């Protein structure tokens, strides 16, 4: 499978989202990654449904929403109404993950399960058959522009083995500190989808950066 790229809107210019989404639409990006933070699950607050609804009206790429909130199951129906393709919930934020994954599917979306850097991939052994994607955080969630946590490479390799052994169709996405030096190593380790915020949006040639990530 060719590498997919999901630019993270958190690093965009919030005073000119139209311009940045036009760029995403023109680019080779596969998805658009949206980070929702509640100030409880993570020590930061980002944006919520008013922004997602507005973005969904102009963005031609499927929306990949990353919920960094407690009890994300409260917002499954609301998320489906945005037209999102993928709803990612944190393993650490869900008490009944199996039920939540099935409710996401019943609402017509793909289900992604996200792991914090310190959560072992083995915690997903009994849900891996049911999920469409595992999102490995390669930074502690809450902020863009942080340094990549090196242990993620080992986690990707372990997860790749687990997915193969289970015969699961889950794809692997990595999020945090993805840039020129870390992206090729992640792809070599078995990552399918690269999320990248600062590296893309702070560049003078964001479309070119997306193209270079796609080429990996």
Ligand X SMILES: O=C(CO)[C@@H](O)[C@H](O)COP(=O)(O)O
Q: Residues marked as binding for a divalent metal cation?
A: 33, 35, 66, 175
Nearer to ligand X, 32 or 170 (CB): 32
Q: Is residue 93 within 8 Å of residue 41, measured between CB atoms?
A: yes
Nearer to ligand X, 38 or 168 (CB): 38
Q: Is residue 76 within 8 Å of residue 43, measured between CB atoms?
A: no
- 72 belongs to the binding site for ligand X (CB under 6 A): no
What whole-number distance in Å separates Cα of residue 139 and Cα of residue 156?
Answer: 14
Smallest separation, CB 201 to ligand X (Å): 8
- Answer for which of 64, 73, 173, 175 binds Fe ion (CB under 5 A) is 175
Q: Which residues contact 143 (CB under 8 A, 6 or more apart)?
A: 44
**Closest residue to ligand X, Cβ-based?**
197
* Contact range with Fe ion by CB under 5 A, out of 41-49, 62-70, 91-99, 204-212: 62-70
Q: Is residue 83 within 8 Å of residue 56, measured between CB atoms?
A: yes
Sites for Fe ion among residues 96-155 (CB under 5 A): none
- Answer for which of 20, 35, 132, 173 binds Fe ion (CB under 5 A) is 35
What whole-number distance in Å separates Cα of residue 93 and Cα of residue 155?
Answer: 20
The item of Fe ion, ligand X, none sharing an interface with residue 142, based on CB under 5 to 8 Å by kind, is: ligand X
Helix, strand or coil, per DSSP, at residue 83: coil
């Amino acid at each position: 499978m060719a590498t997919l790229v999901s630019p993270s809107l958190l690093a965009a210019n919030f005073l000119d989202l139209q311009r940045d989404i036009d760029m995403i639409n023109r680019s080779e990006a596969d998805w658009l990654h949206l980070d929702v933070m509640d100030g409880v699950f993570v020590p930061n607050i980002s944006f919520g449904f008013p922004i997602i609804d507005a973005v969904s009206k102009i963005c031609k790429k499927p929306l990949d929403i990353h919920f960094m909130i407690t009890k994300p199951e409260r917002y499954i129906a609301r998320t489906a109404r945005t037209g999102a393709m993928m709803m990612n919930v944190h393993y650490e934020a869900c008490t009944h993950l199996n039920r939540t994954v099935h409710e996401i599917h019943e609402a017509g979306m793909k289900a992604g399960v996200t792991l914090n850097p310190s959560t072992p991939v083995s915690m997903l052994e009994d849900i891996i058959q049911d999920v469409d994607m595992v999102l490995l955080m390669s930074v502690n969630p809450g902020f863009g522009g942080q340094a990549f946590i090196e242990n993620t490479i080992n986690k990707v390799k372990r997860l790749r083995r687990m997915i193969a052994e289970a015969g699961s169709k889950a794809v692997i996405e990595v999020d945090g500190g993805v840039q020129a030096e870390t992206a090729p190593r992640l792809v070599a380790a078995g990552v399918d989808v690269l999320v990248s915020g600062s590296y893309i949006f702070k560049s003078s040639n964001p479309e070119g950066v997306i193209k270079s990530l796609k080429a990996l």
